[in-house]
Amino acid sequence: MNSHTVRNLLVRGMLAGLGAGVLALIVAYLLGEPRVDAAIAFEEGHSHEHGEELVSRTLQSTAGLATGVLVYGIALGGIAALAYCFALGRTGRFGPRATALLLSGAALLAVYVVPFLKYPANPPSVGDPGTIGRRTLLYFLMMLLSVLLAVAAVVAGKQLAPRLGNWNATLVAGLGYLLVIGVGYALLPAVNEVPEDFSASLLWQFRVAALAIQLTLWVSFGLIFGHLAERQLLPRSAARPAAVPAAD
């Protein structure tokens, strides 16, 4: 793949990330922000310290939220587009759209779902401020382990395929990934700092909303980028059926 094609795919990836970010922003505003407000109300009702608010809650939930989600989407799109350039043609007989969806699904699982199952998202008022550095480090260690193991599983699957066949090699590599992830789950310390009187339903709703945001972001990116990548990589003449010559 030449540099011109890579550059075009990178631009399309960032545009797809922006579009996916807009959709994720809508989900975040409709599902996530009401739960954040409820968690903040809980915190204010149980805390005797009320410091001066540097940034208003209204600004946080509108312009601040939009800036964070859209910048994240654009950055995600650029990184995913570069990974797509490497993966295209190396994942079997998948076309541009299928490769984009496959990459997005794998990234969703490795980057977010697997770390989320060990260290799920928590709303404000959940967690000791003194342990935020430790909790952040543990989460990123889990994410790094998941991503590296996912890459190792793909490499192992390709090496085993000639001997075991594609299906068996995929099963062996996948089971190996799950086994090592399970060991990581067992070895890394658990974090449970949810207050006893915090609403279990609110905690559940917040975590479902966080998962829905990421699901929207990654799936919509795969669909949008797959469409844009196909238009870039496949000649227009190949996308249209050949004209049938008129009979004499």
3-class DSSP string for 67-90: HHHHHHHHHHHHHHHHHHHHHCCC
**Long-range CB pairs of 132-138, under 8 A, 24+ apart, other chains included:** 135/191, 138/188, 138/189, 138/191
Establish if 242 belongs to a structural domain.
Answer: no
Q: What is the pLDDT of residue 53?
A: 62
Q: For the chain, what is the domain count?
A: 2
Residues 79 and 202 in one domain: yes
The answer to whether position 18 is within a domain reads yes
* Same structural domain, 105 and 222: yes
Same domain? 99 vs 154: no
Task: Say which residue the tokens 């935020």 belong to.
Answer: 132
> In this structure, is residue 49 part of a structural domain?
no
Quote the pLDDT of residue 238.
46
Question: What DSSP letter does each residue of 188-212 carry, written as one string?
Answer: SPP-----TTS-HHHHHHHHHHHHH
115 lies in some domain: yes
Verify that 35 and 90 share a domain, yes or no. yes
CB atoms within 10 A of CB 88: 19
DSSP 17: H
The three-point CA angle 122-56-126 to 5° equals: 15
Provide the domain limits for residue 73: 1-40+62-126+196-234
pLDDT on residue 179 = 95
Q: Are 77 and 225 in contact (CB under 8 A)?
A: yes
Q: Are residues 72 and 172 in the same domain?
A: no
Residues 16 and 95 in one domain: yes
The verdict on 183 and 82 lying in the same domain is no
pLDDT in tens, the chain (248 residues): 677 888 999 999 999 999 999 999 999 999 989 988 888 887 776 665 555 566 777 787 788 889 999 999 999 999 999 989 888 777 667 788 888 999 999 999 999 999 999 999 888 777 777 788 888 899 999 999 999 999 999 889 888 888 888 889 889 999 999 999 999 999 999 888 888 888 889 899 999 999 999 999 999 999 999 999 988 887 654 444 444 454 44
Q: Report how far apart, in Å, the C-alpha atoms of 57 and of each of 34, 63, 85 are.
A: 12, 10, 40
Residues 135 and 176 in one domain: yes
The CA dihedral of 99, 88, 217, 109, to the nearest 10 degrees, is 80
